[in-house]
Structure 1
Amino acid sequence: MSKFRRQLRKEAEQWWQEGVITVDIYEQLSERYKFSEIEPDAQNQFVAILLGLGGILLGLGLITFVAANWQVWSRAFRVCLLMVLFVGINAAGFYLWRRPSRQKGLQRLGHGLLLTGALSLGANMALMSQMFHQSGQAYELYFFWGIGVTLMAYSLRLTSLGVMAWGLMAISYGSWAVSTFWLTNSSWLEFPMRMMPLIVCGLFVPLAYGCRSRVVFVLAGLGFAIAFPLALFSYDVTNGLLAISLLLPVACLWSYDRDVWRFTPCSINTRPDPFQAVSRSLAITVLSLTLYIFSFKATWASPHLFQDDTLTELSWWFVNIVVFSVFAGLGWLRLRHQLRHGNLWQEQSINTVTIALILILSTGIVITHISLGDINIVATIVVNIMLFLLALALLRDSLALGVRRTFWGGMVLLVLGLLSRLFEYNTDLMLKAVVLVLCGIGIIVAGLWFEHRLKRLSARLSQA
């Protein structure tokens, strides 16, 4: 909204100077959209960032102070000190954060203290376990710390606490993955870690709606898309499960709708989902990365990824498959009218029909790879075709809709695919040099042309 107001102020000033609008109209626009508050809003955002960083440093300083004097104090005093610090910081932060909206400075100070309180929670848990000789893995501490910060985020509906909680859960899951895959350590947290895709979605998707935060929703979607296949890669699996683990997140993200449990077409939904567009952008991103990874011939030739070993110890992981398969099935049932009456040549090239065809073709290729034997060349060619068609579709949609982010996403995917194929195969240095120069010139020319077209489109809309 602030970006729109800033652009509107700039355009209104230009219209006023050119005589298109009068002073009275400019003052009405200024009063309606509060042009005078644009710069203070930017300053307030900068102050909020400073207070957040200050709160984090304050928390780290308190933790360091306690650690420096830890051995000198008695156990009872240490327990009381930890509890007083935790309760006092959070109580003060909550009190200041709940101040009236006109006292924004105190609100931001309270916000910073709440972040400090979230940091002190982890320090308290670590020090308490040390005092009472409770040992364990580091990811266990991060897991319960993340759960605690998530509860704080739910109670206060703060995006910053939600982001911190997601980061703690990501650190916990990453540490567990390292200890399980390479160090072969086991823990009683094996079950919740295997269920991490469900835990991430169950915790952070409702939190995104409670906080009305796109950032939290994006993090939840990325966590699900990464954790779902990663939980499977510690096993020896068949191609069918590999295809499901890579493509089911795309199907879930594209068909996502908060009213997925209603057996009605999504076109009659009177209240559109505010995060559906974000979820579909995530689906395109995950699909692009998946196609790019499988566009290399070495991926299809890897004996670890494509084998037909006996499945063992997969019972808990199948819960993820069942739950998200049901979720994706319900979502695609709500999209069935687009599949029945869809047109590949509609305004957007990347639509439900396109995504469905890519998912079906990709799944068929992976499953056929083990049924027919060695089809590395065919699979690589087909995946590369889909990758470049996806990049061209992004470019086509960006030109039709005038979306800068879509244009550069398609350009990056197209150039990355070309350069990867160039360096993957043994080509002459002169050819590589020519292709690199052409790609560089192409990016510059395409970028300048698109920005010129975007300005013309904006000017045409402003005159309409």
Structure 2
Amino acid sequence: MVSEKFRSQLQQESKKWQIQGFIDESLYQALSERYRFGDLEPAANLRFISLIIGIGCILLGLGVITFVAANWQHLSRLLRIILLMSVFISVNAAGFYFWQCRPVQGGWQKLGKGFLLTGALILGANIALMSQMFHQSRPGYELYWVWGVGVLAMAYSLRLISLGILAWMLISIGYLWSNFAPLLGGTMATDWINTLHGHMGLIFGVMFVPLAYLCQSRTIFALAAISFAVAMPYGISVRLDYISAPAWLIACIIILPTALLWTYDSHNWRFRQRPHHHRSGVAKLTDPFQSVARSLSIWCLGPLLYSLSFRGLWQSTGTPTEIAQVWQPSWHYLDLLGYILLASLGWLRLSWPLLRFRVPQQKWVNSGLIASCLVLTGMMMSYEQLQHHLIAPLLFNVMLFILAIALLHDGLILGKRRTFWGGMGLLILGIVSRMLEYNTDLILKSVVFMLCGIGVILAGLVFERRFQHIQPSLPSSSQE
């Protein structure tokens, strides 16, 4: 689907073409009908209305909660229950009516969505107050877990992006709170919370990835992917004994988020479907969220290479991993085995067209580069013989700078600002970190800083000048 940004740029350019005589009125009208130029300004107005209504409904919900709390002690229990349920049902009913029964007028739809968001906030207040009335004293993070699951059910039934984002925020708050509560002097997490902690990567994916497809929301998918990339290795590491765990297991945990995100494709689950190929021989990427997953995998790989590029991590006094002496597998690692099998399946499906047709790729950040970085990282983490205090940091610095240069190249060729400046930031960060890490004099450091500053300025000018001449027909959607 063509993005609204592209449609807006095309409208501006086609209007200039019409004024300059490159196209006639009929062609401009055909473009206007094809890309719906008339819907751009109303869509912008509706976004502003949505923002205002959203803020107003949040304040309205907080006002209702505060009003009920101010008069809470003067009401009987039955009246409290009736009041809570009446407010919750009436707000959600009004929201559903304005959202679903007045579909022609966009402003009413936005108002209905705002009321539904208010109803989701009131749901949390109802849960807390009901628990207080019936003297169910539970930790605060359990409220966020239950509240988040309830809002998630509303998001699935109504297919609203705002409710999905709110559900993610609530469950994430409950997850973080239950993890760090013991460190802050709070109560220990309950048994069922501890059980969920070890599998939160899978739980985040199961909860929010199908919702992203139902809502066609890149935001929800990105949040689910980020949560998976953080919670999956953390949940496994909590149950892992680093003293007895084999080095290859630790290496797998480290590289799995990048490997899984890069190979993500919902069509991998369709075993009976044969991959469709273009004339060039490369399989067509039809998953709407694959570009998001691949972008996140790059930003998982970059910090990983940067963190392993420091010389102090590989000193002879200690290495980041130790070879196991005794290690007993457990059923707790079944989800890890599933992740490994899923990543292997994804890489096999991804490499099959490339091995068969051997088509050269224009992008430097491609599957070959990512696979090479992951394999070398896994080998360095798994074999103690390779963990030399000179070889290991040199290799990771080389991979870091290659990734940065590849991002610069792709951003410059494709005219993608985030890719270009991401590569520039990674390159500057690597250079500055090496200068600060090694014992160099102040003169050399000052020269390097000035050269980096001049390089950033020149690179920005060159990129913006080139960007003005790049007019892609459609924005690039994936990293091959």
Q: How does the TM-score come out when normalised to structure 1? A: 0.91
Partner residue of 1:200?
A: 204
Q: Does 1:322 align with 2:325?
A: no
1:54-95 deviations in whole A, cap 9, x for unaligned?
111111111122222222222221122111111111111111
- Equivalent residue number for residue 477 of structure 2: none
Residue 430 of structure 1 pairs with residue 443 of structure 2: yes
Aligned-residue offset at 1:310: 7.7
Give yes or no for the alignment of 1:236 onto 2:236.
Answer: no
1:187 is the counterpart of 2:200: no
Which one of the candidate residues 117, 120, 129 is aligned to 2:119? 117
Give, in whole Å, the separation in 1 of the partners of 2:81 and 2:5: 49
Q: Secondary structure at the match of 1:185?
A: coil
Give the aligned partner of residue 8 of structure 1.
Answer: 10
More displaced 10-residue stretch of structure 1: 67-76 or 119-128: 67-76
Instruction: Please tell me whether the aligned partners of residues 236 and 309 of structure 1 are also in contact (alpha carbons under 8 angstroms).
Output: no
Farther-moved stretch of structure 1 (31-40 vs 426-435): 31-40
Question: 1:90-114 deviations in whole A, cap 9, x for unaligned?
Answer: 1111111103432111111110011
Deviation at 1:309, TM superposition (A): 7.0
Match of 2:368?
353
Which digits, 9 at most, give the CA deviation of each residue in 1:308-340, with x for residues without a partner? 578899846413302212221221221231463
8 Å contact 1:343–1:353 — kept in the other structure? no
Letter in 1 for 2:236: L
What 5-or-longer segments of structure 1 have no aligned partner?
none
Is the 1:90–1:117 contact (alpha carbons within 8 Å) kept by the matching residues of 2?
yes
Total equivalences in the alignment: 459
Structure 1 Cα separation of the partners of residues 327 and 57 of structure 2: 48
Matches within 5 A, 1:2-401: 2-179=4-181, 185-188=188-191, 189-234=193-238, 235-237=240-242, 238=245, 239-263=247-271, 266-268=275-277, 272-300=286-314, 306-307=321-322, 315=330, 317-338=332-353, 340-341=355-356, 346-368=361-383, 371-372=384-385, 375-401=388-414
Return 5+ residue gaps in structure 2 as ranges: 278-282, 475-480
> 1:303 offset after TM fit, Å?
6.0
The one of 452, 465, 470 equivalent to 1:457 is 470
Shift of 1:16: 2.5
Output the CA distance in 2 between the equivalents of 1:3 and 1:115. 27
* Conserved? CA contact 1:197–1:320, under 8 Å: no
Tell me the equivalent position of 1:418: 431
Q: Please say if residues 347 and 400 of structure 1, whose CA atoms lie closer than 8 Å, have aligned partners that are also in contact.
A: no
8 Å Cα contact 2:319/2:387 also seen in 1: no
Deviations 1:415-438 (A, max 9, x none): 111122222233322222222221
> RMSD value over aligned CA atoms?
2.7
Whole-Å Cα distance in 1 between the matches of residues 394 and 182 of structure 2? 35
- The more displaced of 37-46 and 165-174 is 37-46
C-alpha deviation, 1:460, in angstroms: 11
What is the CA distance between 1:392 and its match in structure 2?
0.9
SS at structure 2 position matched to 1:96: helix
Conservation of the 8 A alpha-carbon contact between 1:94 and 1:110? yes
State whether residues 391 and 410 of structure 1, in contact with CA within 8 Å, keep that contact through their aligned partners in structure 2.
yes
The amino acid that maps onto 1:377 is L
Distance change >3 Å, CA 65–CA 327, structure 1 → 2: same
Query: 2 CA distance for matches of 1:460 and 1:75?
Result: 64
Q: Which whole-Å CA distance do the structure 1 matches of 2:62 and 2:425 have between them? A: 39
Match of 2:145, SS? helix
Identity of aligned residues (%): 47
Q: What does the per-residue CA deviation read over 1:117-172, in whole Å, with 9 as the maximum and x for residues that have no partner?
A: 11111111111112212122222111111111111111011111111111111111
TM-score, normalized by length of structure 2? 0.88
- When residues 367 and 32 of structure 1 are mapped into structure 2, their CA distance, relative to the original with a 3 A threshold, is closer
